[in-house]
Amino acid sequence: MIIPSILSANFSRIAESVEMMLKAGARTFHVDIMDGHFVPNLTFGPELVRALKREFDLVLDVHLMVDNPIEVFAWFEKAGADWISFHIEATPHSHKLINMIKEKGKRAGITLNPSTPVEIVYPIIDEVDFVLIMSVNPGFEGQKFIPSTLKKIHQLKDYIENMKKGPEIQVDGGIGPDNLRDVLSAGANLIVAGSSIFKSNDPVSTFKLMKNMEEEFRGK
């Protein structure tokens, strides 16, 4: 699945950007929530999530890049988030928060910064619906893909294959048509793309190209 990230959309025309991607075939949208503490930037609040759910028929993948995810996740759950992921580096109570998210009927994801080893999620991997591997340092859009991420994806994929039912692997940061196949081949199946889509000359064509590449890779 190719998931457009609205962090790279035109902030003065977010609704138009979402509608454009929906018409192009997108269904799920990534929403980065930054608090200016855990990462050096500020972005959106729950009102944006609420407005998008009210206006459109879509799935919202809310990524909490915040110091206190266990305190703020409910704001976004109540606003209409469908998926909620948070950073394992941000709380010592990951297992508790995963259960709190799932008790609300939402998909729960755990996120790893580029320097965080994959092994850290093994004790709770049975509990999550997806693992988000950051392929850039979180906090800013438009960064280049960190090549060593491919090894982490491979490692996580190998571990999951030994499980009866493992989580999906999501990757976010610096992914576009030029390296999409590498990321898919490594084992990812949820691809977040922001700048490569919205900063391109033709966002619709770029999204459709990546979607077709993903479907071709899956043999659809």
CATH of the domain at 107: 3.20.20.70
pLDDT digits (tens, 9 = 90+) for 20-30: 999 999 999 99
Active site residues: 32, 172
Q: Is 15 helix (H, G, I), strand (E, B) or coil?
A: helix
The count of structural domains within the chain is 1
> Which DSSP state fits 165?
S
Instruction: Name the pairing type of β-strands 28-34 and 2-4.
Output: unpaired
Query: In this structure, what token pair is assigned to residue 6?
Result: 């609205």
The pLDDT of residue 113 is 96
Range of the domain at 192: 2-218
| pTM of the predicted model as reported, rounded to 2 decimal places | 0.94
The pLDDT of residue 141 is 73
